[in-house]
Amino acid sequence: MTADEFAQRAAARLPSACRDYFDGGAADEHTLAANRADWAALRLWPRVLRPLGTADTRTRIGPHAVAHPIWLAPVAYQRLAHPDGELASALAAAAQGAGMVLSGQSSVEVERVAAAFAREPEAGPLWFQLHAQPDAGLTRALAQRAQAAGCQAIVLTVDAPVHGVRDRERRAGFKLPPGVRAVHLPEGVAAHHHIDALLQAALTWEQLDALRAATGLPLWLKGVLHPDDARRALQAGIDGLIVSNHGGRTLDTAVSTAWALPRIARAVDGRLPLLVDGGIRRGTDVLKALALGAQGVLIGRPQVHALAAEGPLGVARLLRILRDELQVAMALTGCARIADITPAVLAE
Ligand code: FNR
């Protein structure tokens, strides 16, 4: 199986409007396409006759020692894909030693997801993602709830102060079905706010300290693409960055993440840990992301495809497959350990 085969199976099972919600991007979907095309366009140098050991995928992400660098991205409303929603993805991630960033618009409570992680001794880290809410008190309270549940970091998504122009979703007439909602938010809050209210609620650099003070947990920013914003994050004392364009769902024609990552890596020069997402579908994509300076990658759509296709077992299989593919890519590029994956694996 491959990530794309899970997508095909999911397409056959999901209602078409729901599929369009998961798969769509913003506007004409140029960035959605570029995310994948730009990983594929990077060329690898095969290397031969090197000692390969076991192609060991163990590594560090921020302060965490992890079994491998492939994590689950925050994806909202997973009960659209499977009745157990985010709990099913969490069971899979925990069993596969994958970290998970739970969406603030999760359709399952963070306490239940955290309990799944707590039961599995080999589980990776569980982090919690937030969008700034129009009510700053609610944003802080959510962060505190996630901390009390056992989440180890807060991820603030900064690339979506307003909703992208989601034409595919609009054409499909997508609406949340009864019974699926963002359980952490008061009824109606996740529904579409008026743009003026969203703009006024949007956080600025100056307001990050209050959010950090609410928990004292590490604070990561998700959705940074410009090197100047990365430098600003360093000054602001942010703990890490997720280089992301929201899977091409916000600003169409924004730069792809494969293009932005090396530029951000140069700007932070090892002083901030980086994760990246957007279009990661193969072990070779993971290897390239690591070569360009990321400590790990996040998987968005493939996670819900696998969930829709085969439930928790599907997500576990997907993670295993990507990890196996990473090991093959490491072996064929002569990398015995994650630390051996350097820019030298990439041809100009
Ligand atoms: C997302 N993404 C997202 N990001 C976030 O910070 N909070 C969220 O609630 C969501 N929800 C969400 C729903 C759906 C259906 C998708 C497809 C994506 C973005 C996600 O975390 C990630 O950045 C991208 O999905 C990565 O790109 P790929 O792997 O989908 O190509």
Residue type, 95: A
How far, in Å, is the centroid of ligand 1 from the Cα of 215?
24
Is 246 annotated in a binding site? The answer is yes
Name the token pair of 106: 């999760």
What residue's CA is closest to ligand 1, atom 1? 75
Residue 32 CA, closest ligand 1 atom number: 31
Q: Within 10 Å of residue 293's Cβ, how many Cβ atoms?
A: 21
pLDDT cut 90: percent of the chain above it: 91
Which class in CATH covers the domain with range 3-42+64-328?
alpha beta
For tokens 């994509």, what's the residue? 285
> Where do the structural domains in the chain lie, given as residue ranges?
3-42+64-328
**Gyration radius of the chain over CA positions:** 19
- pLDDT category at 199 given cuts 50, 70, 90 is confident
Ligand 1 neighbourhood includes 75 CB (under 6 angstroms): yes
- Mean pLDDT over 93-102 rounds to 98
**Does residue 85 have a known ligand-binding role?**
no
Nearest-angstrom CA–CA distance, 35 and 244:
10
Annotated binding residue at 106?
Answer: no
What angle, 0 to 180 degrees and rounded to 10, lies between the N-to-C axes of helices 85-95 and 110-119?
Answer: 20
Angle, to 10 degrees, between the axis of helix 301-332 and the axis of helix 16-23?
Answer: 50
pLDDT in tens, 255-313: 999 999 999 999 999 999 999 999 999 999 999 999 999 999 999 999 999 999 999 99
Locate the ligand 1 atom nearest the alpha carbon of residue 222 and give its number. Answer: 6
Task: Tell me the three state secondary structure of residue 298.
Answer: strand
**If you take atom 3 of ligand 1, which residue's CA is the nearest one?**
75
Query: For ligand 1, what atom is nearest to the CA of residue 104?
Result: 9
Q: Give 204's contacts (C-beta < 8 A, 6+ positions apart).
A: none
73-96 average pLDDT score: 98
- Residue 13 burial by CB count (10 A; 0-12/13-18/19+): exposed, middle or buried? middle
Q: What is the pLDDT of residues 111-120, one digit of tens each?
A: 999 999 999 9
3-state class (DSSP) for residue 268: helix
196-205 core/surface letters (b: 16 or more CB in 10 A; e: else): eebeebebee
Out of 82, 184, 246, 305, pick the active-site residue: 246
Residue whose Cα lies nearest atom 18 of ligand 1: it is: 75
Residue 299 Cβ contacting ligand 1 at under 6 Å: yes
Residues of the chain with pLDDT > 70, as a percent, come to 99
d(CA 90, CA 269): 33
pLDDT band of 341, cuts 50, 70, 90: very high
- Residue 104 to residue 127: CA distance in whole angstroms: 10
CA angle 84, 219, 319 (to 5 degrees): 40
Ligand 1, atom nearest to 35 Cα: 31
pLDDT for 134 equals: 85
pLDDT tens digits along 318-328: 999 999 999 99
Q: Which two tokens stand for residue 238?
A: 């942010």
Per-residue pLDDT tens digits for 34-69: 999 999 999 999 999 999 999 999 999 999 999 999
**Beta-carbon neighbour count of residue 160 at 10 Å?**
17
For residue 64, what are the β-bridge partners?
61
Query: Is residue 103 marked as binding?
Result: yes
Query: Each residue of 151-186: pLDDT tens digit?
Result: 999 999 999 989 899 999 999 999 999 999 999 999
Integer Cα distance of 68 and 122 in angstroms: 12
Per-residue pLDDT, 200: 77
Confirm whether residue 304 is marked as ligand binding.
Answer: no
The b/e string for 46-74 (b: 16+ C-beta within 10 A; e otherwise) is eeeeeebeebbbebebbebebbbbbbbbb
Question: Residue 164: CB within 6 Å of ligand 1?
Answer: no
Q: What mean pLDDT value characterizes the chain? A: 96
Integer CA distances (angstroms), 125 to 60, 68, 69, 251, in order: 11, 12, 11, 30
Active site residue 246: yes
Tokens representing 126 are: 């569980």
Nearest CA to ligand 1 atom 9: 76
Place of tokens 């998700």: 222
Protein residue closest via CA to atom 5 of ligand 1: 74
Q: Is 69 in the pocket of ligand 1 (CB under 6 A)?
A: no
Judge if the beta carbon of residue 286 lies within 6 A of ligand 1: no
pLDDT for 216 equals 97
Tell me if 200 is assigned to a ligand binding site: no
Is 47 strand, coil or helix? coil
| 31 vs 16: CA distance, rounded Å | 22
Q: How far apart are the CA of 324 and the centre of ligand 1, in A?
A: 23
Which residue in 323, 265, 256 sits closest to 294, CA to CA? 265
Dig out the tokens for 3 from the structure.
């990530």
- Asked if residue 82 lies in contact with residue 88, where contact means CB atoms within 8 angstroms, the answer is yes
pLDDT of residue 32: 98
Using most ligand atoms within 8 A of CB, pick from 22, 103, 246 the residue to mutate for ligand 1: 246
Residue with tokens 């056959």: 12
